[in-house]
Amino acid sequence: MQRRRSAGMIDISQKGEVERVATASGRIQLRRSTIEKLQSGTTKKGNVLESAELAAILAVKKTPEVIPLCHQINIANVKVEFTVGEEDIKASVSVKSVGKTGVEMDALHGLAVALLTVWDMVKAEEKDETGNYPYTKIEEIVVDKKEKRSLNQSN
């Protein structure tokens, strides 16, 4: 019988503090008519991208409360960007911190929540006659970059 190892946080106490940046991106596919409503400001729930940006920032700050083994870190900056295409919205979330551990999970969490917020904000426009979402999908979520720089390097 194999003994299962219990989950646990990684001890980072011996690591030095460095500036850390991670960027995650992904996209949500939407109906062309939904994109048109989003661009004209006529979606039922209001400003989609502004809400998604705020949701992403909040999600980044709450990552250790949702992902159990993530360390709490001091967030120095969060940058959220959207590119609206004809049938999709691409999102990018960059997170910066000075600390002992990376910020890629925080960027991924912020990105996922941003895309989910877009979905929630436009679901009335995306539903078909059965109440389903046959066209809507979130995909291509990746970590685009992860960097660290010592604190004595000039920017």
> d(Cα 132, Cα 66) in Å, to the nearest integer?
27
Query: Any idea which fold 19-147 has?
Result: Alpha-Beta Plaits (3.30.70)
Q: Does the pTM exceed 0.95?
A: no
Domain extent listing, the chain: 19-147
Predicted local confidence at residue 118, as pLDDT: 98
> d(Cα 74, Cα 90) in Å, to the nearest integer?
27
> Which among 106, 140, 104, 90 has a CA at the least distance from the CA of 22?
104
Predicted local confidence at residue 12, as pLDDT: 87
Average pLDDT value for residue range 102-114: 97
Catalytic residue among 88, 106, 120, 128: 120
128 assigned to active site: no
pLDDT tens-digit series, residues 56-92: 999 999 999 999 999 999 999 999 999 999 999 999 9
Element holding 38 (H helix, E strand):
helix 32-40
> Which among 54, 52, 36 has a CA at the least distance from the CA of 126?
36
